[in-house]
């Protein structure tokens, strides 16, 4: 049946800062330093694969190329979004991402990277780096050259349920002891500004990208405060965190039964807690924490029931 939810099998990425917390999402992770679950990805560096129905075994990229009607026949040379769950067992490097124009010129036609984070869980006292304190480009360059990281970097305490919008050009880093769901443009371009002088398994310092970082960093730094808007539909509370040119991101807090309608070209849904059922045209699909499903174009009316938290995104 063409008009059914498509469940995806994620792929996993080993990272120097990763850990084992992704097992709490019912995943068999490949190593004890598994940092990233790419839940919805059509990027050449790793593609998620359909687990059910007539498209079982097909990658998201192939669906986009050969079955564009599932996405409302929207234009574009690549699937626009990438959804990840990250386990930051250690601090991530301090980094910044380019915008579309810079990435197209300097990164072989890659997209830029605006992203956002939902804090699924974190340790007491966990923090992120979000922005910087330099007022001019000259001051930014001077503080980087002198290694004045404590004065330069803006640190923010976090708690579960927090949400941060991270436009391209924002210096940022996820702190140790944090699990986040990240919605981003379909890009794998990252410029490292600082990596705490960490060495890889071979004893080498990891590569930094200082020149490009300075070029793309917004100065002075802007911190985009989100103003969540919440509405109740039957037994689900829908909180909209961000609506930007690249994506809209919502949290669906399901406490009972709710009837919703999928009217977008497509909607991506990740289950970050609990379990439940999706009922569509008389068929029932079970879901639980760690599942990821795509609701295709013209999916129409469906019901959710159970107790679960889901993060949904669409264009």
pLDDT tens across 71-114, in order? 999 999 999 999 999 999 999 999 999 999 999 999 999 999 99
pLDDT at 286: 98
Is residue 113 located within the same domain as residue 203?
yes
Region 125-138 average pLDDT: 97
CB 226 within 8 A of CB 163: yes
Is residue 135 located within the same domain as residue 239?
no
Q: Could you tell me which of 10, 46, 17, 14 has the C-alpha nearest to residue 31?
A: 14
Looking at every residue in the chain, the average pLDDT score rounds to 96
Instruction: Round to whole Å and give the CA distance between 138 and 264.
Output: 44
Tens digit of pLDDT for each residue in 149-179? 999 999 999 999 999 999 999 999 999 999 9
Query: Does a structural domain hold residue 224?
Result: no
pLDDT at 225: 83
Query: Which is the catalytic residue, given 192, 198, 206, 288?
Result: 192
Is residue 212 located within the same domain as residue 249?
no
Region 294-304 average pLDDT: 97
Is residue 20 located within the same domain as residue 85?
yes
Query: Where does the pLDDT of residue 1 fall: very low under 50, low under 70, confident under 90, or very high at 90 and above?
Result: low
Is residue 121 located within the same domain as residue 183?
yes
Is residue 18 located within the same domain as residue 157?
yes
Number of domains in the chain: 2
Is residue 207 located within the same domain as residue 241?
no
Query: Does a structural domain hold residue 248?
Result: yes
Query: Residue 251's domain is classified under what CATH number?
Result: 2.60.120.10
Is residue 134 located within the same domain as residue 27?
yes
For the chain, the helix, strand and coil percentages under 3-state DSSP, each to the nearest 5: 15, 45, 40
Domain boundary (164, 186, 216) is at 216
pLDDT at 2: 63
Query: Does a structural domain hold residue 223?
Result: no
Number of other CB atoms surrounding residue 71 within 10 Å = 19
Is residue 12 located within the same domain as residue 160?
yes
Is residue 176 located within the same domain as residue 254?
no
Is residue 172 located within the same domain as residue 238?
no
Domain that holds residue 256: 229-314
Instruction: Round to whole Å and give the CA distance between 55 and 1.
Output: 10
Is residue 149 located within the same domain as residue 241?
no
Does residue 64 surpass a pLDDT of 90? yes
Check if 288 is active-site.
no
pLDDT at 188: 93
Region 248-277 average pLDDT: 98
């Amino acid at each position: 049946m063409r008009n059914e939810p498509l469940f995806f099998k994620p792929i996993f990425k080993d990272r120097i800062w990763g850990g084992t917390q992704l097992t709490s999402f019912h995943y068999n992770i490949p190593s004890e330093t598994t940092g990233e679950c790419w839940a919805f990805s059509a990027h050449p560096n790793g593609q998620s694969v359909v687990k059910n129905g007539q498209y079982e075994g097909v990658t998201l990229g192939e669906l986009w190329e050969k079955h564009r009607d599932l996405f409302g026949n929207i234009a574009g040379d690549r699937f626009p979004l990438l959804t990840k769950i990250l386990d930051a067992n250690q601090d991530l490097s301090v980094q910044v991402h380019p915008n579309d124009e810079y990435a197209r010129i300097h990164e072989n036609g890659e997209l830029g990277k605006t992203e956002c984070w939902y804090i699924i869980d974190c340790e007491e006292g966990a923090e992120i780096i979000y922005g910087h304190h330099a007022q001019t480009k000259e001051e930014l360059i001077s503080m980087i050259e002198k290694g004045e990281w404590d004065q330069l970097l803006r640190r923010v305490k976090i708690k579960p349920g927090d949400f941060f919008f991270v436009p391209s050009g924002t210096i940022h880093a996820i702190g140790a002891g944090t699990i986040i769901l990240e919605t981003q443009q379909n890009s794998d371009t990252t410029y490292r500004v600082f990596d705490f002088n960490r060495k890889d398994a071979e004893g080498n310092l990891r590569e930094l990208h200082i020149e490009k970082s300075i070029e793309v960093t917004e100065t002075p730094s802007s911190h985009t405060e989100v103003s969540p808007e919440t509405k109740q539909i039957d037994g689900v509370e829908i909180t909209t965190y961000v609506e930007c040119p690249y994506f809209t991101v919502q949290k669906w807090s399901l406490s009972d039964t709710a009837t919703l309608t999928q009217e977008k070209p497509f909607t991506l849904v990740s289950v970050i807690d609990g379990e439940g059922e999706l009922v569509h045209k008389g068929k029932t699909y079970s879901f639980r924490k760690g599942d990821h499903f795509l609701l295709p174009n013209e999916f129409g009316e469906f019901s959710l029931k159970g107790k679960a938290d889901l993060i949904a995104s669409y264009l």
